[in-house]
Chains A and B, each alone.
Chain A
Amino acid sequence: MNYAKLRGRVPLIFSLGFLFFIPLFYSDTYTLHVMIISFCYAVIAMNFDLLLGYAGVFSCSQFAFFSIGSYTSAILALRLGVSPWIGVFAGAGAAALAGLVVGLLTLRLKGFYISLFTFAFQMVFYSVLLMNPYELTGGTMGLLNIPSFQLGTIKFGGLSKIPDYYLFLFIFLVSTFIMLKTVGSHIGLAFIALRDHEEYAICRGINPYKYKTIAFVISVFFTGLMGGFYAHYLHAVDLYIMSWGTMALGMTMLVVGGIGTIYGPIIASFFLTFLVEFLSGMGPLRFILVSSLMIVVLIFAPSGLMGILQRTRARGVQQFPKFLNSILKAFSR
């Protein structure tokens, strides 16, 4: 590896080291808990980004698949006593299967109908869970006392959050790695081709239906997997995760970070999770702030954080006022 390549990787290596060594310096339970939730949101936002930013499919039901993962795993553990390690993969499989069905039904349609259909899917799935069929899902109360992971003598879900932290960090890294590999492979290139010019991509022999379904299933699999881990970590699942507030939060992460840049949503999800936790005394007002932030970013800097970074790097810092200029321009249209 030559010097230039190494220099390009410095931020990555630095942030990885930072993530690895946080518990050694800062093992405060609350901070670690917020970090774990951030990992969770980071995986959700990243998979959302794979779907929207790379395959160009706007699905409104990512959190429904997250809930499929967590509810399946929780029900398996509570009813059948299945080990959580198997349960989370069963949950992810269930989410992927549901995603396959939804994908096969919708992805032939035009972009806008997909968002509509997935939106309807999420709302109906919410009401089905709320109705508590066969006393399985617990209705508004959700499911409680979900067992936590256990690996030999290491006990997860205790007062010390350090094992959980490393578990979630591991899943986060695996998910990121697979995401980067997918995007870099020929499948990822097909996604980008379809997003940028669908007709031309079809002429070059890319089957849009097939590749969009692949993107959907991959994205939904990891979202569901994270859902399972989330349920076993918190020992409880409820319907709150499918509310509008959470959905808007997830989308804000994507928008603030920059759609179509994997690192952007990851950074934004850490930033926003900490922000929302920091403002938790404000009640509903924080969701108003988060949604307003999303609208402001969409209007004034639609390419998000990563877009701004790339632009400043390309132009050099002295031309930064141009960005401020564009803010003034946006309102004079």
Chain B
Amino acid sequence: MSFDPFFKSLFSGVLLGSLYFMMATGLTLCWGVLGIFNFAHGAIVMCGAYMAYVCILSLHLNYLVVFALITPFLFCLGIFIERFIMRPLLSQTGKMAFTAVIMTTLAISNILENAVLMIFGGRMKRLPKMFKGVIRLGPITPTYDNIVIITVSLVILITMVVALKKTKVGMAVRAVEQDKEASYLVGINVKRVYSYTLAISSVLAGIAGVFLGSIYVLTPSMGGDPILLSFIVIVLGGLGSFQGAIIASYIVGLIQALASLVVGTHWARVVLFLCLMLILMFRPYGLFGERVG
């Protein structure tokens, strides 16, 4: 009886963890392969949600069709960002190259947010529910939507693991992650791998955005909050570590849910920030990352 809220927050922790996992995977892949930190990831999350909004409320499409439609769009967005913005920057060699990349991703994020603000206005919008109804499982009552989100994130998880291990592109991605020069030597088209990585991470972010929009509300700045948590996830998991990101996203989701239960939703962010501070102070290389310094 008295443990009901506890189980409820455990469940919402798993749910949040699934969402963070979808966002953090893209970020950690980007870091591992390109060696950049993509601050525009949150804006891409937001773009995915707004694309779904257009598809559903103006074109009256089914959610399944929506995913089929927005995936190529997000893929192209990722390739565009890599080809025309990141590639000229990454080929610069200078003291400030790394800073330039961070600044550029912040600028991209600003451009996307303001573009959406210009087109749709700042008012909150809602996506309709995917499925109606709830299931009763003892103390927790997940909606069908929640089950779908958790299932899809598990499917994505398995697909990613298999794709990285078995497919040619996946192996190329891992090879570039380990050693860029050696990958050139064995004939991998490193620049194309960069493009694919950013494209895949954008697709994952966009899909996460649709799910996020179906739970919460859509605003032009909705990407800021989850992106901060994805940062915490990939720092906790260790930068560039795929397994680390998986485990850490669920840990962060659970911490956030339990902190919301204890100190309230708004202060939960502060608690997570304190966690980030502690991680950075004592284990800056994360739980699974390689020790760098």
Q: Select one of A127, A128, A259, A299 contacting B99, CB under 8 A.
A: A259
Q: Select one of A110, A244, A259, A299 contacting B292, CB under 8 A.
A: A110
- State whether the Cβ of B232 lies closer than 8 Å to any Cβ in chain A: yes
Give 1 or 0 for each of B85-118: 1 = CB within 8 Å of chain A CB: 1011101101110111011101111110111011
A196 neighbours in B (Cβ, 8 Å): 95
The reply to whether B88 and A331 contact each other, CB–CB distance below 8 Å, is: yes
**With contact pairs A295-B107, A302-B100 given, residues A284 and B117 touching in the complex (Cβ less than 8 Å):** yes
**With contact pairs A113-B284, A123-B224 given, residues A298 and B100 touching in the complex (Cβ less than 8 Å):** yes
The distance in angstroms between the C-alpha atoms of A161 and B224, with both chains bound, is 37
- State whether the Cβ of B73 lies closer than 8 Å to any Cβ in chain A: no
The reply to whether B277 and A105 contact each other, CB–CB distance below 8 Å, is: yes
**With contact pairs A248-B110, A291-B110 given, residues A124 and B273 touching in the complex (Cβ less than 8 Å):** yes
Q: Which residue of B lies closest to A259 (CB)?
A: B96
The distance in angstroms between the C-alpha atoms of A227 and B232, with both chains bound, is 29
The reply to whether B273 and A105 contact each other, CB–CB distance below 8 Å, is: no
Chain B count of residues within 8 A CB distance of the other chain: 46
Interface Cβ pair total, 8 Å cutoff: 118
A110 neighbours in B (Cβ, 8 Å): 284, 292-293
The distance in angstroms between the C-alpha atoms of A251 and B273, with both chains bound, is 24
**With contact pairs A288-B114, A288-B115, A294-B103 given, residues A112 and B98 touching in the complex (Cβ less than 8 Å):** yes
The reply to whether A119 and B39 contact each other, CB–CB distance below 8 Å, is: yes
- State whether the Cβ of B60 lies closer than 8 Å to any Cβ in chain A: no
> How distant is A252 from chain B, measured CB to nearest CB, in Å?
8
- Name A's B-contacting residues (CB within 8 A): 52, 56, 58, 60, 105-106, 109-113, 115-117, 119-121, 123-124, 127-128, 131, 195-196, 244-245, 247-248, 251-252, 255, 259, 283-285, 287-288, 291-292, 294-295, 298-299, 302, 330-331, 333
- Name B's A-contacting residues (CB within 8 A): 37, 39, 85, 87-89, 91-92, 94-96, 98-100, 102-104, 106-111, 113-115, 117-118, 221, 224, 228, 231-232, 235, 266-267, 269-270, 273, 276-277, 280-281, 284, 292-293
Q: Can you sample 13 A-B contacts with CB below 8 Å?
A: A105-B277, A109-B280, A112-B37, A120-B228, A127-B270, A244-B106, A248-B107, A285-B118, A288-B110, A288-B111, A295-B107, A302-B92, A302-B100
